[in-house]
A and B are shown apart, each in its own frame.
Chain A
Amino acid sequence: MTIKQMTAAEVSKKLNNKTDLFILDVRNESDFNDWKIEGKNFKFLNIPYFDLLDGVEEILDQIPAKKEILVVCAKEGSSVMVAEMLSEAGLDVFYLKGGMKAWSEHLEPVKIGELTNGGEIYQFVRLGKGCLSYMVISNGEAAIIDSTRMIDAYLDFADGIGVKITHVLDTHLHADHISGGRRIAERTNAAYWLPPKDAAEVTFEYQPLESGKGITVGHTAIDIQSLYSPGHTIGSTSFVVDQKYLLSGDILFIDSIGRPDLAGLAEDWVGDLRETLYIRYRELSDDLIVLPSHFMIIDELNEDGSVAKKLGALFADNHGLNIVDETEFRELVTGNLPPQPNAYQEIRETNMGKIEPDDEKQREMEIGPNRCAVR
């Protein structure tokens, strides 16, 4: 029977459309348990490819004949091998082009909404890793916030709609993914903005994101002044765009809050995190739409594939915003933290410009889920 390729973009569409898909993941068990493709109507079977070298007969009864079947592995090779065996056994199957490596790097642009005077804001959803980045567009200009290292996705998108990238911003020095901010700025001659408190050790030129400075993209002002919001890192800065959207970086997520330990200072920064979430953010309008830098679980996605929710709704529902007792809050964010992201120290050093790993190494450093949140 037939073997066809399925791209990461096609899997994204199925995920967002809540299509049925049966995924046979042939990576080893620990990799599968650590990190996999997730979707509301996706079903899974994990059998390592090396257990199938003698044939697939023993697993045929575990594979539904009527559903679309996608074989997934780390890079592609093993999934092709297993797909061939399944095809010989009489099934129509797909394999994931480029494997989990491609899944980790795919960005899906989703329009979030309109801005005053004809602007727009887009969210780039990195489904495979839970990273979210943004493009704010107004009057032929664009700003990019918290970009991933797959910079062509943004450059091509901006080209496609005919806008010039004038500003690139990072809400903080990231520890879970490699920022493409500096390279986008180099390619487009845009200004690259970073919070100076996170940039103490960086080896390159940047524009300091400080109180009192506003950034204008076309007709849209991004107000930076009022939102110094430390806690995930000491410099973490949030942006309010067009008085409508709150870009919260890694401080506040839809169903969780930021962790303060990735730069090694959990005990010191937990107080800042609490102050940001329980005092600074409380002064903001409930109607702001929170746009975070990550999502943790697929349930955080809205119907249209976006990750966004009103601040007022988060104050009501987000567990991390509803811990009255300060000691209990401290215990949550310092006491029982999830494992740290893969290679997070090297990722920080890369984002500081201290080391410059090649593409293959960067890819490997980012493998796995993001782990910026506590819940």
Chain B
Amino acid sequence: MHSDKVLDAKGLACPMPIVKTRKAMNDLQTGQVLEIHVTDKGAKADLAAWSRSGGHELVEMAEENDILKFWIRKGC
């Protein structure tokens, strides 16, 4: 899956994955995709809910070993 930027948020506990994701997303243009790697399991539901509430699209999610990967497309 294509991404325009990768954010490594592994090892960070809530609320940091969302705080970092939000900051990284500010540097992207509408339509661009941010790839995020986290290990905090709580991020699964929270990133999905945050994307919805912020008008972004959670395009894909994958789990590799203990790392959760998200691809979020920036909305307007």
**Contact residues in A for B46 (Cβ distance below 8 Å):** 28, 48, 50
Kindly state whether residue B49 has any CB partner on chain A within 8 Å: yes
Given contacts A28-B45, A31-B45, A77-B13, contact A51 B18 (CB under 8 A): no
Most buried by A among B18, B19, B41, B46: B46
Kindly state whether residue B65 has any CB partner on chain A within 8 Å: no
- Measured in the bound complex, the distance between the Cα atoms of B50 and A75 in whole Å is 18
Given contacts A75-B14, A78-B14, contact A50 B53 (CB under 8 A): yes
Is B13 a contact of A49 with CB atoms below 8 Å? Answer: no
- Measured in the bound complex, the distance between the Cα atoms of B55 and A51 in whole Å is 12
The total of chain A residues at the interface (CB under 8 A) is 16
What does the 1/0 interface line of B48-67 toward A look like (CB < 8 Å)?
01100100000000000000
**Contact residues in A for B41 (Cβ distance below 8 Å):** 364
What does the 1/0 interface line of B23-63 toward A look like (CB < 8 Å)?
00000000000000000011001100110010000000000
- Measured in the bound complex, the distance between the Cα atoms of B12 and A78 in whole Å is 12
**Of all chain B residues, which has the CB nearest A73?**
B14
Interface size class, chain B: 10 to 19
- Measured in the bound complex, the distance between the Cα atoms of B45 and A48 in whole Å is 11
User: Which of these, A29, A30, A49, A75, contacts B18 with CB under 8 Å?
Assistant: A49
Is A74 a contact of B14 with CB atoms below 8 Å? Answer: yes
Is A50 a contact of B45 with CB atoms below 8 Å? Answer: no
Given contacts A74-B42, A75-B42, A364-B41, contact A81 B49 (CB under 8 A): no
Interface residues of A in 1-57 (CB under 8 A from B): 28-31, 48-51, 53
Kindly state whether residue B15 has any CB partner on chain A within 8 Å: yes
Given contacts A30-B45, A75-B42, contact A48 B50 (CB under 8 A): yes
- Measured in the bound complex, the distance between the Cα atoms of B50 and A49 in whole Å is 10
Given contacts A48-B50, A50-B50, A51-B53, contact A77 B45 (CB under 8 A): no
**Contact residues in A for B42 (Cβ distance below 8 Å):** 74-75
**Contact residues in A for B13 (Cβ distance below 8 Å):** 75, 77
**Of all chain A residues, which has the CB nearest B50?**
A50
Given contacts A50-B22, A74-B42, A364-B41, contact A30 B15 (CB under 8 A): no
What does the 1/0 interface line of A247-265 toward B look like (CB < 8 Å)?
0000000000000000000
Interface residues of A in 337-354 (CB under 8 A from B): none
Quote the shortest CB–CB distance from B18 to chain A (angstroms).
Answer: 5
**Contact residues in B for A75 (Cβ distance below 8 Å):** 13-14, 42
- Measured in the bound complex, the distance between the Cα atoms of B20 and A50 in whole Å is 11
- Measured in the bound complex, the distance between the Cα atoms of B45 and A29 in whole Å is 10
- Measured in the bound complex, the distance between the Cα atoms of B59 and A118 in whole Å is 65
**Contact residues in B for A78 (Cβ distance below 8 Å):** 14-15
Is A77 a contact of B53 with CB atoms below 8 Å? Answer: no
Is A49 a contact of B53 with CB atoms below 8 Å? Answer: no
Is B14 a contact of A48 with CB atoms below 8 Å? Answer: no
- Measured in the bound complex, the distance between the Cα atoms of B41 and A51 in whole Å is 19
- Measured in the bound complex, the distance between the Cα atoms of B16 and A364 in whole Å is 20
User: Which of these, B22, B45, B49, contacts A53 with CB under 8 Å?
Assistant: B22
Most buried by B among A28, A31, A50, A364: A50
What does the 1/0 interface line of A134-162 toward B look like (CB < 8 Å)?
00000000000000000000000000000
Can you sample 6 A-B contacts with CB below 8 Å? A48-B46, A48-B50, A50-B15, A75-B13, A75-B14, A77-B16
Chain B: residues with CB nearer than 8 A to chain A?
13-16, 18-19, 22, 41-42, 45-46, 49-50, 53
Given contacts A28-B50, A51-B53, A74-B14, 18 further A-B contacts (CB under 8 A): A28-B46, A31-B45, A48-B50, A49-B18, A50-B18, A50-B22, A50-B46, A50-B49, A50-B53, A53-B22, A73-B14, A73-B15, A74-B42, A75-B13, A75-B42, A77-B14, A78-B14, A81-B15
